[in-house]
Chains A and B, each alone.
Chain A
Amino acid sequence: MTIPRLTLDHIACRYGDLDVLEDISLTVQPGEFVSILGPSGAGKSTIFSLLTDTVKPASGTMAFDGEPLGKRQNPFAFMPQRDALMPWRKIIDNVTLGLEVQGIKRREAREQVGALIDEFGLAGFENNYPSALSGGMRQRAALLRTVVQQRKMLLLDEPFSALDALTRTRMQTWLETMWLKHRWTAMLVTHDVREAVYLSDRIYVLSPRPAKIVRTFDIPLSRPRGRDAVSRAAATEIENAILETLFDPTGGTLP
């Protein structure tokens, strides 16, 4: 059996007196797309804060490629909820931000992202400021900024939640296409059931706070995932099962 890329083992976390995470265990294999789905305020984003070292767990262990997650390694590239593009930097300079922080020279960084600019549909907009771009383009730029950091795993924090429904659907299709091509190991946090089913290999469903994982769904649907009637019917079945779990996390046995 291969060593999982990421393992969380019985993680608990609290902010002061507030229990945010009660018991989180999950694994992500290399090249997998995994989603964490839960109601608003369940502590989904807290899991990312734990991974990116801005919050410490109260108990439990985290391992990356079999080694305990410590200060020394930084295997994650993080994409925040709003695009967090810097309004004072041109698109090309926003995209190379992570490389610049790593100490790579500006020209070299631009060369590195040059080929991907086109693939991400940003060609011709490199020298525009973010304010001139549409919401979908800004998200593509934010994702490009995330992937060019060449980290081992992507953390996507509700990346499409601020977009209108049509743009969001388009972005999901596009993201799946890109993922199939590059096979990034990725973890997505979302409260959009359809989005999670469309993009994921596996979904962990969280309970309301203090969060624990109430159920795990493997998504056996074939890739690329279509939006035709047959594919939709199969997806809808899983979506309904997930919704049931979300609405009734105790599985019918009320306390």
Chain B
Amino acid sequence: MTSRVTAERHAPLRQQLCKILPAFLALAALFAAWEVYVRLSGISPTTLPSPSLVLSQTWQYRQALFDNALPTLRATLSGFALSLAAAFVLSILVDFFKPLRRALFPIFIISQTLPLVAIAPLIVLWFGFGLLPKILLVALVTFFPMLVALAEGYAATDREIERLLQTMGASRWMRFRLARLPSALPYFFAGLRISITYAVVGAIFAEYAGAAKGLGIYILNAKNNFRPDLVLAAVFVSSVLTLLLFGATLLIQRLVMPWAEKPPEGGQ
């Protein structure tokens, strides 16, 4: 009896493990193939290092990688915070004043067409080697997806709910706060997840264009020293950073939107 209860409680965990298992297997197969190719072909590690070499180098240079990952993480989070605040404020303004949307959206869309390779050095040129250009570049690449997600989320509000609030005598701002804003949350988190995957890359791009410290400048130095193993080690660290941030957004979404969880079986 007891064991059955435990088994049932653990069932969802096992199910979740089963769900992510294929992804793990595919990833493992990819790295295995890469490892086998490097060993059999005898290719020079200064051209293509094996995954095992990259891992061992990551471990050996962990202190340097950590020291460089911190400024990147700081730039990412600051830029993302700025972008989030700007997207939120602008989404509200745009929702309340429709002409503003028609005036500003073309500019934002154009901002997304700019090649990062060209923009990053210019921003560094204008704003120096400090934190500011990194923040701006991260904000530039993450701002628009979140703004669009919020704007679409507001527009997707159930009309009957808005009409109901209207019959209750709710003001425009009240209708926004009680109906449009919560309706937009699922859309917002979808946009947030897209944005966060760009954020670290944006920060690294800015550092690549000029920085004292950071994964971007670390990658540049490793490349110039013909150390592809260290380039890939830094890439590995940046991937882990992005995945951690991605996981954090999922966690926050669960906390902010408890109603979106599957309803428990049998009502109560």
Contacts and interface: CB of A to CB of B under 8 A. Distances in A.
B267 A52 contact: no
B174 interface: yes
A98 B170 CA distance: 9
A203 to B, nearest CB: 24
A132 B168 contact: no
B259 A84 contact: no
Given A54-B163, A84-B160, A88-B257, A149 B267 contact: no
A124 B268 contact: yes
B250 interface: no
Interface size bracket, A side:
20 to 34
Specify the main secondary structure of chain B where it touches its partner.
helix
A129 interface: yes
A132 B160 contact: no
A245 interface: no
Contacts of B178: 86, 97, 100-101
B164 A80 contact: yes
Contacts of B167: 52, 54, 74, 76-78
A52 B169 CA distance: 9
B264 interface: yes
A77 B170 CA distance: 13
A132 B170 CA distance: 27
Nearest to A80: B160
Contact of B264 (A54, A74, A132): A132
Interface string B131-145: 000000000000000
B195 to A, nearest CB: 22
A191 interface: no
Interface string A72-102: 0010111011101011110000000110111
Contact of B267 (A86, A101, A133): A133
A78 B160 contact: no
Given A101-B169, A101-B170, A102-B169, A84 B264 contact: no
Interface in B148-182: 158, 160-161, 163-170, 174, 178-179, 182
A98 B164 CA distance: 9
B174 to A, nearest CB: 6
Most B C-beta atoms less than 10 A away, residue of A76, A125, A131? A131
B185 interface: yes
A84 B168 contact: no
A128 B170 CA distance: 25
A88 B174 contact: no
B263 A98 contact: no
Contacts of A54: 163, 166-167
A86 B185 CA distance: 13
Nearest to B175: A101
Contacts of B168: 78, 97-98, 101-102, 149
B257 to A, nearest CB: 7
Contact of B182 (A81, A88, A97, A133): A88
A131 B259 contact: yes
A77 B179 CA distance: 18
B53 to A, nearest CB: 50
A249 to B, nearest CB: 29
B182 A86 contact: yes
Nearest to A88: B182
A52 B163 CA distance: 9
Given A125-B268, A128-B268, 18 more contacts: A52-B166, A54-B163, A76-B167, A78-B168, A80-B164, A84-B160, A86-B179, A86-B182, A88-B257, A89-B259, A98-B168, A101-B178, A124-B268, A129-B258, A129-B259, A129-B263, A131-B259, A132-B268
17 contacts: A52-B166, A52-B167, A54-B167, A77-B167, A78-B167, A78-B168, A80-B160, A84-B160, A84-B163, A86-B161, A86-B179, A97-B178, A125-B268, A128-B267, A128-B268, A129-B258, A133-B267
